[in-house]
Structure 1
Amino acid sequence: MTSTDAELEALLDRIPVLQGRPRTVTDLPGGLTNRNLHVTTPERDVVVRVYRGDPDLLGIDRDAECDNSRAAAAAGVGPGVVDHLPDLGVLVIDYLSGRTLTNADFADPGILARVAAACRQLHDGPRFTGDFDMLARQARYLATVRERGFPLFARYTDFLEPFERVKAALGARPRPTVPCNNDLLAANFVDDGAKIWVIDYEYSGNNDPCFELGNTATECDLDGDQVEALVTAYFGRRTRHELARVRLQSLVSEYGWALWGAIQAAASPIEADFHTWGESRFEKAATTFTSPLFERLLEEIGRDD
């Protein structure tokens, strides 16, 4: 943070845990819908998450984010919540000392196993406020794009019919929902050397655990063997129907989040290449829709093994 950030300094002065205390402030990387600040005082280290963007447009519930951050902390896998100041657009959480993962880290089988364990710990914890269903969210995002006349990726609507087939296949054998982060890119895992923590709960909600794994697989660019290793570590066994479900949920993630990119590209004041971000997700989805793998996954999800 630079010395010209007078407005931000004034905001920090309004946060009780920081008032009247000497502090150092460092911007943390990432955070397209938050500005994340590492703030150190003589008493403690915290992260101040300053909200930005249109939460209604993107389907973000900031109160649920706070509730679910507390639940994840109670599960022992998320940082503690220090304060929530919705009038200021701020969530304050404990700072975790460790390193954020990168996609390259998933080449290590040990990391895959520890990530699976972290997901299980989160999923076994207290229920979250609200549900998250990318199948329904995709429809809402698409409606937003159409109603507002936002540009859409070429060929996106070509796959609406096969997407309905994915919905039907997933709905034929529904799974109980569990508390999920739903946005586990590599940087949302923090490794402190002893355990892996899960951070950032703005899209959290109770969901199919296979979406969590499938979303992680695609966001972290896991190859086929790595996806299988992650799924096997999570379930403690390898079955074709669970692996197929995770891979289909990867497809759901790609097809749905692509629209998030389209909305942000058209509406966000933030300087970022949201179009390329969204298009890359769509192209991943299109590749699966048009490959022989697609029909095989639809068949295998109905198996008992």
Structure 2
Amino acid sequence: MHPLSLDVAGLDELLGRLPTLAGLPRRLEDLPGGLTNRNVKVTTPKGVFVARCCDTTSNLLGIDREREYLNTKAAERAGVGAPVIDYAPELGILLLGYLEGKTLSDSDFGREGVIAKAAAAILALHRGPRFHGDFDMFERQPSYLDTVQRNGFRMPSDYLDHAEGFARIREVLGTGDRTTVPCHNDLLAGNFIEDGDTVRLIDYEYSGNNDPHFELGNVWSECGLTLDQLDELVTAYHGRRSRRAIARARLQGIVAKYGWTLWGCIQSASCALDFDFWGWAMERYDGAVAEFRGPDFDRLLADAATPD
């Protein structure tokens, strides 16, 4: 039985198999969030930890747990990730040090200074140790599409009507600098932990080396930033305003919306968690369609291809 389905007593017994926790009295508290895993706060006399528990019996989403572990360690070395304490792949458990601080919500990005702190954390991650493996939504989206179609999962009836717009973005973003950096690739607000002047980043399930503008565009998409806030984020990251960089980040945000839509379709059809994955997917899909059909889509493509 995998840890996602265990009751508290069963999970406590499983956690006791970890050398770090063996023999220690423990208090367990399920933490909110986590749509593909179970996050549990573990309080002991020798410290507070977070156990990231996953189901290793199914993997329709292409998550590489060994890569997650290695890249979480790299993020720790970069100074933005939680300390890695223990790892038991046979149990589906990654044990981390607990980070004190405020878990951000979308509205927090409207507070003075939060976007600048988020940009600094992202930049520190991107300048840190190279990650294991790559992440490219232009490759991940066709894989998700194959999973959906092969299994007969429900998806928007007109999803493929926008394949041309997706391909146009891929063509434009494929020109010029192809530098990749270690990216988180899934920075929704709940993966930012704010502690004073510092922001840390958690949850490296989809981590891999990628175009840095995907990271920035995905933050815009997942955290509900306005276009002005996207401008602020990209400018803070680069240290100067770049029309080209802002356009590339926004286009990558559209790519993220379009690709993650299929992630939601897969989860809607296959995941037992009590969560509206279909509604989650449609929120991203509607956002992508609005951008594909928007009056400035052609201008974005031109800006992304034009040096400043």
What range is the shorter-chain TM-score in? over 0.9
2-structure distance, mates of 1:122, 1:248: 22
1-structure distance, mates of 2:296, 2:17: 54
Q: How does 1:1-305 map to 2 (within 5 A)?
A: 5-52=8-55, 56-305=59-308
Q: CA deviation at 1:52?
A: 2.9
- 8 Å CA contact 2:173, 2:305 repeated in 1: no
Greater alpha carbon shift after TM alignment, 149-158 vs 256-265 = 149-158
Q: CA deviation at 1:6?
A: 2.5
* Paired amino acid for 1:244: A
2-structure distance, mates of 1:291, 1:198: 32
Q: CA deviation at 1:304?
A: 1.1
* 1:243-266, Cα deviation, whole Å (9 max, x unpaired): 100000000000000000000001
Q: CA deviation at 1:55?
A: 5.5
1-structure distance, mates of 2:26, 2:93: 17
Determine helix, strand or coil for the equivalent of 1:228: helix
What's the % identity of the aligned pairs? 51
Aligned-CA RMSD value: 1.4
Q: CA deviation at 1:175?
A: 2.9
2-structure distance, mates of 1:114, 1:54: 38
Aligned length: 304
Determine helix, strand or coil for the equivalent of 2:23: coil
Q: CA deviation at 1:15?
A: 1.5
2-structure distance, mates of 1:221, 1:53: 31
* 1:174-194, Cα deviation, whole Å (9 max, x unpaired): 431000000000110001113
* Paired amino acid for 2:42: V
Counterpart in 1 of 2:3? none
- 8 Å CA contact 1:33, 1:53 repeated in 2: no
* Paired amino acid for 2:164: E
| Structure 2 unaligned residues grouped into runs of 5+ | 1-5
After TM superposition, the score normalised by the length of structure 1 is 0.97
Determine helix, strand or coil for the equivalent of 2:11: helix
Greater alpha carbon shift after TM alignment, 45-54 vs 236-245 = 45-54
Q: CA deviation at 1:62?
A: 0.2
* 1:118-165, Cα deviation, whole Å (9 max, x unpaired): 000000000000000011000100011111111111311110111110
Determine helix, strand or coil for the equivalent of 2:41: strand
- 8 Å CA contact 1:53, 1:268 repeated in 2: no
Determine helix, strand or coil for the equivalent of 2:182: strand
| Structure 1 unaligned residues grouped into runs of 5+ | none
1-structure distance, mates of 2:56, 2:87: 18
Q: CA deviation at 1:54?
A: 6.0
Determine helix, strand or coil for the equivalent of 2:284: helix
2-structure distance, mates of 1:186, 1:180: 16
Q: CA deviation at 1:14?
A: 1.1
* 1:166-210, Cα deviation, whole Å (9 max, x unpaired): 110110124310000000001100011131000000000000000
1-structure distance, mates of 2:223, 2:31: 20
- 8 Å CA contact 1:71, 1:128 repeated in 2: yes
